[in-house]
């Protein structure tokens, strides 16, 4: 069951880091996730609490294996990125994607060639 509201929830930097591991590696037990952490490794219970929080927010789900759980992503990285982008556009650009592009042009973060390519993509997509 996918919950579209979870895409708009904000993740902390640590939560995003853990989700990135799940998106890359797939289903994991907390002990496996702990083994992948850099030194100093967090305490197992700390990591377990963060993972359960991600499940409560709707980003992870789990399968039971006896008394332990294997967690897996409930939403894809692309779904999260789309939600994060929508949130930024709404919050900082008054829900205007044109405002985003205008800012990129003004700040010289997008070249004329890239802008032309973007227009061509939009035109191709509108013909489909």
Secondary-structure class of domain 4-73 per CATH: mainly alpha
pTM of the full structure: 0.76
The model's pLDDT over 104-121, given as tens digits with 9 standing for 90+, comes to: 888 888 888 988 898 898
The answer to whether residue 128 scores a pLDDT higher than 90 is no
Task: Please give the residue that has the higher pLDDT: either 7 or 98.
Answer: 98
Domain layout of the chain by residue ranges: 4-73, 93-128
3-state SS string for 16-81: HHHHHHHHHHCCEEHHHHHHCCCCCCCCHHHHHHHHHHHHHCCCEEEEEECCEEEEEECCCHHHHH
The model's pLDDT over 60-115, given as tens digits with 9 standing for 90+, comes to: 999 999 999 999 999 999 999 998 899 889 999 999 988 988 888 888 888 889 88
Closest listed residue to residue 75, CA positions, set 113, 19, 15: 19
């Amino acid at each position: 069951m996918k919950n579209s509201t979870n895409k708009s929830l904000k993740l902390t930097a640590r939560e995003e880091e853990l989700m990135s591991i799940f998106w890359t590696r797939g289903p994991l037990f907390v002990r496996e996730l702990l083994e992948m952490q850099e030194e100093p490794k967090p305490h197992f219970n700390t990591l377990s609490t963060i993972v359960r929080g991600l499940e409560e927010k709707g980003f992870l789900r789990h399968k039971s294996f006896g008394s332990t759980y294997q967690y897996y992503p409930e939403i894809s990285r692309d779904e999260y990125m789309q939600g994060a982008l929508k949130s930024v556009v709404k919050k900082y650009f008054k829900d205007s994607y044109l405002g985003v592009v205008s800012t990129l042009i003004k700040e010289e973060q997008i070249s004329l060639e890239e802008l032309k390519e973007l227009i061509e993509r939009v035109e191709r997509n509108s013909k489909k």
